[in-house]
Amino acid sequence: MVSLLLLVFLASVMVTAIIGTIYYIENKLNTYIHLFFSYFILIMMALMLVGAIIYLYSPSNVTLGIAVAINMISMIIILAFFFSVAENLSKQVILSSKILYSLASLLVLNEALMGTTFSLAEFGKSYFSSITEDMTTSLNSIWFFYPMMVEMLFTLVIGIVNSNQIGDYVYYVIPLIGIAAFPPTVLNFNVWIYSTLAIDIFLTIYGIMKSKLIWKILYAILIITLIPILFNINIFFGLGIAISMVYFYRVLFMEARIRKEKENSMNR
């Protein structure tokens, strides 16, 4: 097991890297080169975390070699692809819904892998006895929720600063940020569990009342996933949060795209 201070430092570095990528996507992504760079960073971070998970699960020279090989081979393949199509990547990119969802999914994947990696480093593999347990631990870890909350807040603040106004979407996503700040599953004692359940139920009801249709559905799903927590079944809550996070990033990236399109049309 690794020192908690070291884990906090490494998690801070990872969060800073993800925040930098989010800023880049929201403000700099205009061409296919920018898009490739965004994918490259997110994919390589995910593969680095996968390699770390393999090594931490069974530390040895073999697993260390596998971890290094995964990253090196993947980087060579991706860069080879880049140089084979580089001359066509200077074109303006149209950020379709598919692209935005894929970027959002990669961000959430990195956050989930952080949950797995740092939980393994802190507690060892005793918490990871099956696929279900692995997913439950990864998606209900402090290392998943609080880095994610920081990244959500940063994404939201940058969106507000860039647009110089508070759009309606802000009120839709605030309850989700609140739920990420008070996850009942990260600490295992009754005062925390029941108090955060009450807070999260209030936030989800508020989200249902104030949001548009898709957000209403997501908040309705989240309030349903809170019920199994009373029976120590946490996986549904983690999955609900992960799905909601993908949509969260997609919405804020779409707002950034719309803002840039308006700015470009005004400059013509």
Tokens of 99: 């692209």
Calculate mean pLDDT across residues 148-165. Answer: 82
Note down the domain range covering 138. Answer: 4-267
Q: What is the 3-state secondary structure (H, E, C) of 139-187?
A: HCCHHHHHHHHHHHHHHHHHHHHHHCCCCHHHHHHHHHHHHHHCCCCCC
Lowest mean pLDDT among 126-130, 187-191, 200-204: 126-130
d(CA 109, CA 119): 15
d(CA 129, CA 200): 29
In this prediction, residue 165 carries a pLDDT of 63
Count of beta carbons in the 10 Å neighbourhood of residue 253: 24
Q: How many domains does the chain have?
A: 1
191: left (phi over 0), alpha (psi -120 to 50) or beta: alpha
HSE-CB for 47 with a 13 A CA cutoff:
19
Tokens of 131: 């696929």
- Residue 25: strand, helix, or coil: helix
Q: Check: pTM over 0.85? Answer yes or no.
A: yes
d(CA 114, CA 97): 26
- pLDDT-based confidence at residue 268 (cuts at 50, 70, 90): low
